[in-house]
């Protein structure tokens, strides 16, 4: 038995309700507002220029779920929640929550896409307003930094001296690698606006003298060469298999002979149902990209071999996008 019952199936079917309450509260920036001072529903409504009945019901639901405290007719976002969901908090994940809210319209087209409705696919893939890039990259750092050291330990950079972090965002993994390996220097490659965010974070970490920042687009540009270790972290799921082969070929050219590539992503079981997070994330790629998905080790390995790599090995399957695959460029 898989443990599914009528009760928990119905609970799952209703999960969208509490999810929507959180997303709407985030979109209205209620957590930032109510972290600053406690307000009545009328005062919140006036601030939002909204509907008082709707605002009151939303605030009461958020309080019932533990996101707010209600006392004497006033609502307040307590410090522990504000640290996570207020735009004013340096460790906030509000941008990631807002990113989830931006996914909502695309996910609503899933049924139509499965039915082959071309219009549903067009609607799902239509770009929409999203969180600011700076806020999103910052929230990614908050989420990722807690696992970066463990990932680097599992990878074990060994004697590597020149790391290339492709799509390295603000440098979360670059910093973890350099902290673990004093002999290592790094090149971080990402889009121009992201490079400026990486410059700030890496400078604050005191590692600017060990990192070269290179702006570019791995879809259209060649990667900087001369590295003995390349990291593709949370990249391949956004690509089709053919796009990944082309990216692997660029990595191959960027590696010195004998150099090593490590991929961090979901690595699916052969039947594509485990880990669960990866199977669900594949649906996100279905409704958000033209050809992205999550891939089995065999699929990843086939693409790497086609691109010229050898000694492909699964280092770690894991869940929550902690799968690790390594491969080597031939030494000669």
3-state SS class at 107: helix
Q: Span 183-210, mean pLDDT?
A: 96
Q: Span 198-220, mean pLDDT?
A: 97
Q: Span 296-312, mean pLDDT?
A: 98
Contact 253, 223 (CB under 8 A): yes
Contact 186, 213 (CB under 8 A): no
Over residues 30-49, the pLDDT tens digits come to 999 999 999 999 999 999 99
211-215/185-190 β-pairing:
parallel
pTM over 0.75, yes/no: yes
Contact 321, 265 (CB under 8 A): yes
In the chain the domains, ranked by start, together with CATH numbers, are 1-85 (1.10.10.10), 93-130 (no CATH), 133-328 (3.40.50.150)
Residues near 299 by beta carbon (within 8 Å), at least 6 away in sequence: 241
Q: Kindly state the percentage of the chain with pLDDT values over 70.
A: 98
pLDDT band at 130 (very low <50, low <70, confident <90, very high): low
CA count, 13 A, side-chain hemisphere, 94: 25
Residue 137 has pLDDT above 90, yes or no: no
pLDDT of residue 89: 95
Mean pLDDT of all residues belonging to the chain: 95
User: What would the two tokens of residue 186 be?
Assistant: 């790094």
User: What would the two tokens of residue 96 be?
Assistant: 């990631």
Handedness of CA 243, 245, 247, 253 (dihedral sign): negative
Over residues 51-106, the pLDDT tens digits come to 999 999 999 999 999 999 999 999 999 999 999 999 999 989 998 999 899 899 99
Residue 134 has pLDDT above 90, yes or no: no
Residue 1 has pLDDT above 50, yes or no: no
């Amino acid at each position: 038995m898989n443990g599914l019952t009528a009760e928990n199936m119905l609970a799952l079917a209703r999960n969208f309700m509490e999810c929507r309450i959180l997303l709407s509260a985030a979109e209205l920036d209620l957590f930032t507002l109510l972290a600053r001072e406690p307000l009545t529903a009328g005062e919140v409504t006036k601030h939002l220029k909204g509907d008082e009945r709707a605002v009151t019901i939303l605030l009461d639901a958020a309080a019932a779920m533990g996101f707010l405290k209600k006392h004497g007719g006033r609502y307040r976002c307590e410090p522990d929640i504000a640290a996570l969901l207020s735009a004013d908090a340096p460790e906030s994940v509000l941008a990631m929550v807002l990113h989830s809210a931006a996914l909502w319209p695309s996910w609503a087209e899933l049924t139509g896409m499965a039915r082959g409705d071309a219009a549903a696919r067009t609607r799902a893939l239509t770009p929409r307003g999203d969180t600011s890039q700076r806020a999103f990259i910052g929230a990614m750092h908050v989420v990722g930094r807690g696992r970066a050291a463990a990932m680097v330990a599992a990878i074990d950079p060994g004697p590597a001296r020149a790391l290339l972090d492709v799509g390295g965002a603000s440098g979360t993994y670059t910093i973890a690698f350099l902290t673990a390996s004093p002999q290592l220097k790094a090149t971080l490659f990402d889009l121009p606006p992201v490079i400026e965010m990486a410059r700030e974070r890496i400078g604050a970490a005191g590692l600017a003298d060990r990192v070269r920042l290179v702006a570019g687009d791995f879809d259209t540009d060649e990667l900087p060469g001369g590295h003995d270790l390349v990291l593709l972290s949370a990249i391949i799921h956004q690509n089709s298999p053919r796009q990944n082969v082309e990216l692997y070929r660029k990595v191959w050219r960027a590696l010195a002979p004998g150099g090593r590539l490590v991929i961090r992503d979901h690595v699916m079981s052969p039947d594509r149902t485990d880990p669960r997070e990866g199977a669900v994330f594949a649906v996100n790629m279905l409704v958000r990209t033209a050809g992205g998905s999550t891939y089995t080790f065999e699929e990843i390995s086939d693409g790497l071999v086609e691109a010229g790599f050898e000694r492909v090995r699964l280092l770690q399957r894991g869940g929550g996008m902690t799968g690790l695959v390594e491969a080597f460029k031939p030494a000669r």
